Structure 1
Amino acid sequence: MEYCENGSLLSYLQNPSNYCNVKANRENPEAVNELQVLVDLVVQVAEGMKYLASRDIIHRDLAARNILLDSNLVAKISDFGLARASSQYVLQRPKVKLPLGWMAPETLVPMEGRYSDRSDVWSFGVVVWECFTFGQPPYSQQFPQGLNHEHLHQFLLDDNRLQLPAICPQWLSSLVLDCWITVALNRPSFSQIVSRMDASVGTANNDL
């Protein structure tokens, strides 16, 4: 396995020295550079997931902790322990602890959770949220006592969502909300996500 000098994306996000300018003053030129790094990272993750989806691989555990960064901050999607080579997968009896905070509504249905590339799209939206909250755990404010399938499932079916911080570019916030559409087939594919990013990233500096 390739050595990734910068460790996981999660640990990188949680290192205050990497984003000290953003937190102090987002108008600072250095802060703009730091935010651009975040945009570049989520674009790389989307491109990696586009490749996996084209091979009918469902990751099922896409999260900042499972993305590694090399010395040049090139993102590498890792940890395929829950992955399945299939266009759709139904989980009937989970035998491992599941990453609830990154799971789409259709995957939270007991005994019949349905996974597809569009459930990975939902998880990608959570990864973007992790990036712009500097590695906060999802739903920790909404569920301070911890998550469970039933409560989170109902929370999401009631159209509640994580709140993206103001430092996230507007075009990217809009894309993430589309990743969190309740009906899986109405979410964009990773191919569509990458196309939208390619069309928007050229103007990202003006939006930051």
Structure 2
Amino acid sequence: MTALKNYANILKIYNESRTNYLKLVFFKQKIAYSWKPWLILIATAALMLYHSIQPESLQQNLYTFIGLISSAIGLFLTTEEARARKFRKIYKKHKIKKHPLINRQQLVRYAVFLRKLKKQNHTIESIEKSIASIKSCTPPETSSTTQNIIITTLLAALVTITANLLEKTSLWTDGKGFLFILYILAMLYISWIIATIIKERKAQTLTIIRLLERAKIDLQD
């Protein structure tokens, strides 16, 4: 097998080991389990609708913020419950519940990845070849734009100017600046999601190599 074919095969296994939790939580569960996330989703939509009626109320903004945080926590916990049910054997074999909640998704994905490697009868030698193939097929990293001092300086200046303009708006002078803080937090969350996706794409090669190196250890047992 050529290096490119080897890399493509490992990449396919890696992609197949990823679970679509949106479908799992909302559509691929029994009604006895799926009603929880749907209830959270409906409650969140109702909260946002009610917030749109009184968008300038400081008290309502606070309630909306607390409600959104509670909804996010609720969806996180219901996703963990759905994952534990679907991968019950993996949880038991690898003692996933003894690990922190925040790490369980990646641990389950590795367990599925390892299982698929075993199904294809991969050995320590074949994994070592796969690691070499991935390294040889991966282009070198380029420098990040955030490391450019000119871009960083311009961004800092833009932030300062924007802050000064916000302080002169009627909402800010009327003591309702919390609205801006709420919207900025929402934009930060969206930006964090986008940055995470981009970072995951860039770190995908290193992640696959790390999973393969971990698989080498497990295959020795």
Q: Which is higher, the Rg of structure 1 or of structure 2?
A: 2
TM-score by length of 1: 0.28
Q: Which has the higher strand share?
A: 1
Name which structure has the greater RCO, CA cutoff 8 Å, separation 6+: 2
Q: Which has the higher helix share?
A: 2
